[in-house]
Amino acid sequence: MDNDNPIGIFDSGIGGLTVARAIHKRLPAERLIYFGDTAHLPYGDKSAAAIQAYSIKITDILIREGCKLIVIACNSASSAAYELLREYSGSKAKIINVIDPMVDYVSEKFSGKSVGLIGTRQTIQSNIYLQKLLSKDPEADLISLATPLLVPMIEEGFMHDKISRDIISEYLGYEAFCNISSLILGCTHYPLIKDEIEDYYSGKVEALDSSEIVAAHLHKYLQENQMESNIRKGENKFFVSDYTASFEALTRMFFGEEIHLEKFRLWE
């Protein structure tokens, strides 16, 4: 496969744009194809089987678009569908998830310390973060909390206001979080409220943003496997399964360039 082929990225909505933006900044020579499954968001309250079905269909589309590598920019899909997508894609495209790079980072930087995790119900109930952390650090101390209101809050534009502060305070006031050293933002939507989360803790707890960690991991992966593009050939492309003006506006803001959303229904 040609190194100049694009990198595919997908999520249920705007959250994965945080990952796409971090990759775009770190690897400007790479052409990106982003798929936001806005018709089925959020994934966090869907069954594993439903998430797998959506993920397979989107992976098919991205492979047909010639993607050399696909980033699952969603914790819920990473927990429910990563192994399935690896098997399904075979040699057609490499698959990277957002959980493994974060687990590697936490096990290296916060070994022996109490770490918090917030995420969707799907991510928390899968217990995948704890399982993977324990495989690297048997003494890992991870305290998890499902925070299902945060994704719809962000998708509806409630950020940096009284509503968001009240919801964030309600969740982060969880008694078991009182002694954590850091907090894993276990959903790619959450970096959009990272500053509000860190404000709640008055800077005493580090909020761990998966987007930057995943971008760094991807960069290293491309270098090690000699898959880096030397020059971007063509423009980034953005697909959605259901058009929304707010998604288009946010995408334009994130990338600082004129973009056009293409509506691409998973099932007609």
Closest CA to 183 of 132, 230, 142: 142
- Domain 7-97+212-263 and domain 100-210, same fold? Reply is yes
pTM for this model (two decimals) = 0.93
Tell me what the mean pLDDT of segment 189-209 comes to.
95
pLDDT at 214: 97
- pLDDT tens digits, 213-231: 999 999 999 999 999 998 8
Residue 245, classed as helix, strand or coil, is helix
What does 32-92 look like in DSSP terms, one character per residue?
Answer: EEEEE-TTS--GGGS-HHHHHHHHHHHHHHHHHTT-SEEEE--HHHHHHHHHHHHHHHTTS
Query: What is the assigned CATH class of domain 100-210?
Result: alpha beta
Dist. CA 241–CA 155, nearest whole Å: 15
Residue 174, classed as helix, strand or coil, is coil
- pLDDT tens digits, 44-81: 889 999 999 999 999 999 999 999 999 999 999 999 99
Dist. CA 247–CA 249, nearest whole Å: 5
CATH 3.40.50.1860 fits 7-97+212-263, yes or no: yes
Q: Which residues are identified as catalytic?
A: 74, 187
Q: For residue 109, how many other CB atoms are within 10 A of its CB?
A: 13
Residue 113, classed as helix, strand or coil, is coil
Domain residue spans of the chain: 7-97+212-263, 100-210
